[in-house]
Structure 1
Amino acid sequence: MKGLHLTADLYQCRCDAVWLTDARKLGSWCREAVQAVGLQAVDELFHTFPATATGAGGVTATVLLAESHICVHTWPEQKAVTCDVYVCNFSGDHSAKARGLMYALVNRFQPEWTEQRSLDRGDES
């Protein structure tokens, strides 16, 4: 079950607000980004949360991959996003594809700053 788990917390995102509030638009872009790096989408779920007193509702976009998953959560009132990319490396090393996908996600939202983490998962044997 060897794999790579990448996370990014994005702050003060400078992208157009629609990327933080439109699940359909963000989901479509996520599918294209997954395909562009050579990963295989097998299912998806995109949800826009209702507006609150602080503004438009955020979005959760999840793409289930043959290699594992990506998940994006947005907080438009804070111009913040969290991204999660996990690939198992059972059938081959998908680490470079995961890093490419995370790079694309970060660039999509144009944050002023990020906190990124990388975790090698599973047994090395």
Structure 2
Amino acid sequence: MHGLHLTADLHGCRCAPLWLTDAAALGQACLAAVQAAGLQAVGQVFHVFPATVHGPGGVTATVLLAESHLCVHTWPEQAAVTLDVYVCNFGADHSAKAHALMNALLALLDATTVQRHALQRGELASAPSAPQSPTAPGAAVA
């Protein structure tokens, strides 16, 4: 279960509007980026949300990876996007591929502001301590 989880919140996306509103186009771009990064797509869901009074609906592009997943959510009325790339590193370290995938999508969406986060998942900071039962010596009893 060890892995790397990358997220990015993008604001001020200057990309072509279709990347924020056309689920099929965004999905194909995601699949191409997955392949270019050396990851393996094993499934996908591309969904368009309905337009609102604020503008065209956003899209979600999700690619299930043999190594874990990629998910992109868009808000065209805000020129905003959230990106989520998670790779498990069981059997091999896919971290460089995760960064390559994230960087390809960041380049495509061309945001003025990007907040990036990286989380190492599944690693224990220290050995877990045994849970203490309420009746153990020294435990408080209500």
- The TM-score, its normalising length taken from structure 1, stands at 0.98
Partner in structure 2 of residue 32 of structure 1: 32
Provide the C-alpha distance between the structure 1 equivalents of 2:37 and 2:81, rounded to a whole number of angstroms: 21
Whole-angstrom distance in 2 between the partners of 1:88 and 1:113: 28
**Superposition pairs of residues 24-103 of structure 1, within 5 angstroms:** 24-103=24-103
Which sections of structure 2, spanning at least 5 residues, go unmatched? 125-142
Say what the alpha-carbon RMSD is for the aligned residues.
Answer: 1.1
Could you state the TM-score of these two structures normalised by the residue count of structure 2? Answer: 0.86
2:91 partner amino acid: S
Compute the displacement of 1:113 (Å): 1.0
Q: Which residue of 1 aligns with 2:118?
A: 118
Look up the match of 2:19. Answer: 19
Q: Kindly indicate which of the two structures has a greater share of residues assigned to strand.
A: 1
Per-residue deviation, residues 23-47 of structure 1 (Å, max 9, x unmatched): 0000001001000010000000000
Larger-Rg structure: 2
Letter paired with 2:80:
A
CA distance in 1, matches of 2:2, 2:78: 35
Question: Which ranges of 4 or more aligned residues in structure 1 deviate by more than 2 Å?
Answer: none
> Unmatched 5+ residue regions in structure 1?
none
Q: Could you tell me how far apart the structure 1 residues matched to 2:123 and 2:37 are?
A: 25
Give the SS at the match of 1:50. coil
Q: What number of residue pairs does the alignment pair up?
A: 125
Q: Deviations over 1:52-110 (max 9, x none)?
A: 00110000000000000000000000000000000000020000000000001111100
Question: Could you tell me the percent identity over the aligned residues?
Answer: 65
